[in-house]
A and B are shown apart, each in its own frame.
Chain A
Amino acid sequence: MRVGLFIPCYIDQFFPEVGIATLQLLEKQGCEVVFPEKQTCCGQPMANTGMEQEGKKIYADLAELFSDCKYIVGPSPSCVNHIREHYDIIEQTEAIRHLRKNAYDLVEFLVDVLKIDHLDASFPYKVGLHRSCHGLRGMHLSKPSELMCDIPLKWEKVLGLVEGVELAKLNRSDECCGFGGTFAVAEEAVSVKMGKDRLADHLANGVEVLTSGDMSCLMHLQGIAGRQKSGPRIVHLANILNGDKL
């Protein structure tokens, strides 16, 4: 199964280990993974600031790069959600339609397409799951606490396949961490306060390692924890699922 690996810009530049884990994990699952090296970004930073018109070329180029992959998989619900929801502003070429239909977040791909029921990984820690908003409410990788209906818990399911993971219960199970792209800078005070509160919730519940499918949220939380010189260890889900050690 030919899978195109989509690595968002900031993961490429700052968190290569997340990309590596994603690649290795997919290969272990028997996927033939290709990585088009010309990719840069999904265009979300511009779009979320109101400048989606400026991102049209980025959208079209990205779609072209992946046009011969059956699936396109990236370790970032936020970017994948953006591709699905907001690539409606350019001409819906074959390539664009293909990308929007076949772009998956890593965890979603593992659960919905590969239907995994086993992982060769162990992670003996109390883990706090940050249910990032775009994955949660945009893609329903877990159940938002506001909704009163049944939604399969995909993040929780994959974590449950890792030996030794003890999933922490949080006081606020799915509140936003306050990252929000350019929001993090434009609304610095609220953003940081939200992040501090998220960290405090995890700490109060004995979390040793905080994880999430979205590295951008983690980058923000890690930044605050780093400045405060306190907080749990922070690790992307892909690394845990890949069996990486702390």
Chain B
Amino acid sequence: MSTHSEKAAAFIKDEARTNWHDGALWHVREKRDAAASLLPEWELLRNTASHIKDNVLANLDDYLIQFEAEAKKNGVVVHWAKDGKEHNQIVGQILQRSNAKKVVKSKSMLTEECKLNDFLEENDIEIIDTDLGERIIQMRKEEPSHVVLPAIHIKKEEVGELFHKELGTEEGNSDPTYLTKAARTHLRQRFFEADAAITGVNFGIAETGGVVVCTNEGNADMGCHSAAVQIHSMGIEKLLPKAEHLGVFTRLLARSATGQPTTIYTSHFQKPQKGKEMHIVIVDNGRSEQLGKEDFRNSLKCIRCGACMNTCPIYRRSGGHSYHATIPGPIGAILSPNRDLKKYSDLPFASTLCGSCSDVCPVKIDIHEQLYKWRQEIYKHHELPKSKSIPLRITGKIFENPSIFNSVGKIARSSLKHLPRFMVYNNLNGWGKQRELPEVPEYSFKEWYKKQKDE
């Protein structure tokens, strides 16, 4: 498996495409700025949201129990899954019992995380992603590259080609309105035929036992209203104590995600419709372990708005797939090592620690500080490549000793000055591939200082 830096280098090879990807996401970031700047209380909202989530994480057990009790009172069937596998089995059993063969799904990163689609397909159940971006990805047999804009890495011309092949649209037509219409016609049919609908959950309300799903296309509503069985997959961290807290988050979510004042649909699901079934599957999948790690607990506040991805100058230029994880970008780079430190030990280094992610995050997750802390953990667990640790250990030793530092500096400067160019600029020197080294001065600052002091 190649690392983030290798995948990023491959992505950047096509510089025009990189520029386009960067520009598209920067445009979203600018829309977010414009929307946020219209609310004088923006920073207060972020603070409030962060505090509400602090409370939730500190009392998660109580809120989960309350949520379950309220949901049951409403006639909802509540399930608990310790990991992705159990989640899939539970969903599979619900579908089996109700004899469901065709399922529609509205966007959920959690089901991606659990690899639900693969599981259902293996069990001969047809599952169709109904959100346009997700559907495109599903047709291409790819994973989403962004949590809110899953197909942001794909150009409209490529969608035109894909739809021509899969849905029989006109060859060469990549007009977004035309393509959207074609997708809608194709999906409408799937909604009519669906036996069951699955959605993710943006917020679960402990006080009411209801769940809230925020979408722009309304597919969660379409699916849940037409199918006989509705299933909502929810991570344990999605809870809010009371309905009155919701407004803080819906105001932040849409603005942070796309710059919209609110998502087009903010759908509340509280009880099954007459004669139908409603299930909520509450999933842990590593979250309670994360909750136990004080330095990294805060990452569970994430509301998956994607703002940290849009603002991240590395994400914009390396693409979501370079993170080789379900959740890409800065937040993914702190969530993934919790799941598998070895596999994802490259991700905390895919950052300059510029801090833009932390400043943009609507729930004030200290993302870049957690990246820094993960790096320390990775070294402690011997997952730092020797190519990094050895040179830096030597550097550290040099810094510990001022006279060695001075002489090594002098030698380095003089060799840089006198060595032939090919010895300085070669494959061993990652700096010099596309950059010049600084020009070597006659003297170091210390030498200058000493000299003028002596004079």
Question: Cβ of A58: which chain B residues have Cβ within 8 Å of it?
Answer: 396, 399-400
Q: Is the CB of A137 within 8 A of B317?
A: no
Q: In the assembled complex, how far is the CB of residue B208 from the closest CB belonging to chain A, in whole angstroms?
A: 31
Q: Is the CB of B430 within 8 A of A186?
A: yes
Q: Is the CB of B379 within 8 A of A51?
A: yes
Could you count the A-B residue pairs with CB atoms below 8 Å apart for me: how many are there? 216
Q: Is the CB of A7 within 8 A of B445?
A: yes
Q: Is the CB of A189 within 8 A of B9?
A: yes
Question: Given A16-B445, A180-B352, A226-B436: A187 and B37 within 8 A (CB)?
Answer: no
Stretch of A31-39, A102-110, A118-126, A155-163 that contacts chain B: A31-39
Q: Taking the complex as formed, is A167 at the interface, i.e. its CB lies under 8 A from any CB of chain B?
A: no
Q: Is the CB of B405 within 8 A of A11?
A: no
Question: Cβ of B436: which chain A residues have Cβ within 8 Å of it?
Answer: 222-223, 226-227
Count how many chain A residues have C-beta atoms less than 8 Å from C-beta atoms of the other chain: 74
Q: Taking the complex as formed, is A95 at the interface, i.e. its CB lies under 8 A from any CB of chain B?
A: no
Q: For this complex, into which size category does the number of interface residues on chain B fall?
A: 35 or more
Q: Is the CB of A193 within 8 A of B18?
A: yes
Stretch of B120-128, B230-238, B267-275, B354-362 that contacts chain A: B354-362
Contact pattern, B 416-450, Cβ under 8 Å of A = 1, otherwise 0: 00000000000000110111111011011111111
Closest to B346 in A: A186
Q: Is the CB of B384 within 8 A of A188?
A: no
Question: Cβ of B449: which chain A residues have Cβ within 8 Å of it?
Answer: 19, 23, 35, 37
A151 to B369, CA, bound (A): 21
Contact of B399 among A43, A144, A149, A226 (CB under 8 A): A43
Q: Taking the complex as formed, is B42 at the interface, i.e. its CB lies under 8 A from any CB of chain A?
A: yes
Q: Scan residues 352-384 of chain B and give those whose CB is less than 8 A from a CB of chain A.
A: 352-356, 358-360, 372, 375-380, 384
Question: Cβ of A185: which chain B residues have Cβ within 8 Å of it?
Answer: 430-431
Q: Is the CB of A39 within 8 A of B402?
A: yes
Q: Would you call the interface of chain A mostly helix, strand, loop, or mixed?
A: helix
Closest to A183 in B: B352
Q: Is the CB of B43 within 8 A of A133?
A: no
Question: Cβ of A232: which chain B residues have Cβ within 8 Å of it?
Answer: none
Q: Is the CB of A49 within 8 A of B412?
A: no
Most chain-B Cβ atoms within 10 A of its Cβ — which of A17, A52, A149, A185? Answer: A185
Q: Taking the complex as formed, is B393 at the interface, i.e. its CB lies under 8 A from any CB of chain A?
A: yes
Contact of B405 among A7, A9, A51 (CB under 8 A): A9
Question: Cβ of B356: which chain A residues have Cβ within 8 Å of it?
Answer: 133, 137, 144, 146, 175-176
Question: Cβ of A149: which chain B residues have Cβ within 8 Å of it?
Answer: 43
Q: Scan residues 160-218 of chain A and give those whose CB is less than 8 A from a CB of chain B.
A: 172, 175-176, 178-195, 197
Question: Given A176-B313, A222-B436: A57 and B355 within 8 A (CB)?
Answer: no
Q: Lowest 10 A-B CB distances belong to which pairs?
A: A180-B352, A223-B435, A50-B375, A226-B436, A137-B355, A50-B379, A189-B9, A19-B445, A185-B430, A133-B354
